[in-house]
Amino acid sequence: MAKVLAVLSSGHTDTENNYETGWWAEELFAPMEVFQNAGHQVDLASPKGGKPTLDQASISEDYDPDGKYKKMYESGLADDTKKLSEINPEEYDAIFIVGGHGAMYDLAKDETLHKIINAVYDNGNIVSAVCHGPAPLLWTTRPDGKSIIFGLDVTGYPEAVEPEGLPAILPFSLEGEMSKVANYSAEQKVVWGNDQLVTGRDPFSSEALAEELVKAFDKRTK
């Protein structure tokens, strides 16, 4: 059994622009099902701990037409996260950073998260992120001072499909920043940068990304 640390944004509120965001339901719950069905454990963490803020759009009819993720959310599956400061990275076989625009605000430059990512990586384990979840990888620096994704093949949520008007109020362009340091692809669903780092493009890639991790866990136990 592998242990996966899923990291969620605690949420962000922009009163000036009447905008609230957080983590994206499908990007946690679809992978969680894959991991648990394969017999692996998923622990949750966020900067503030407790119940993190969900991006409510992710359980709307547009993005969750069957109401599957809404039910999972309302059942309390993500109501109790540990604080990042309480996490011992030595316990985990992988870290999985959940997307949602919230990740660009409170996760991107969280130094505690950067230390956890580096520790998981230094232990030879897997660093993964989906959609906007790769944001903190940009500022996770290795001993040489370069980003952990420097020079690697990566993906993440493309600028072209961001909601109209939203890029103007986001703190940075994910695609733009990733393209400066890594080989960014807007087309591929799941991209392995090396055998320890894998990224997913969007919510619809999250299940496939989790399946890739399960395959990697299986290889490591053979």
| pLDDT of res. 222 | 67
How far apart are alpha carbons 29 and 23 in whole angstroms?
11
| pLDDT of res. 63 | 95
End-to-end CA distance of the chain: 12
Other Cβ atoms within 10 Å of 111 Cβ, number: 11
pLDDT tens digits, the chain, 222 residues: what are they? 999 999 999 999 999 999 999 999 999 999 999 999 999 999 999 999 999 999 999 999 999 999 999 999 999 999 999 999 999 999 999 999 999 999 999 999 999 999 999 999 999 999 999 999 999 999 999 999 999 999 999 999 999 999 999 999 999 999 999 999 999 999 999 999 999 999 999 999 999 999 999 999 999 876
Residue 187 Cα to chain centre, angstroms: 18
How far apart are alpha carbons 80 and 119 in whole angstroms?
23
| pLDDT of res. 220 | 85
Domain 3-221 bears CATH identifier 3.40.50.2000: no
Q: What amino acid occupies position 27? A: E
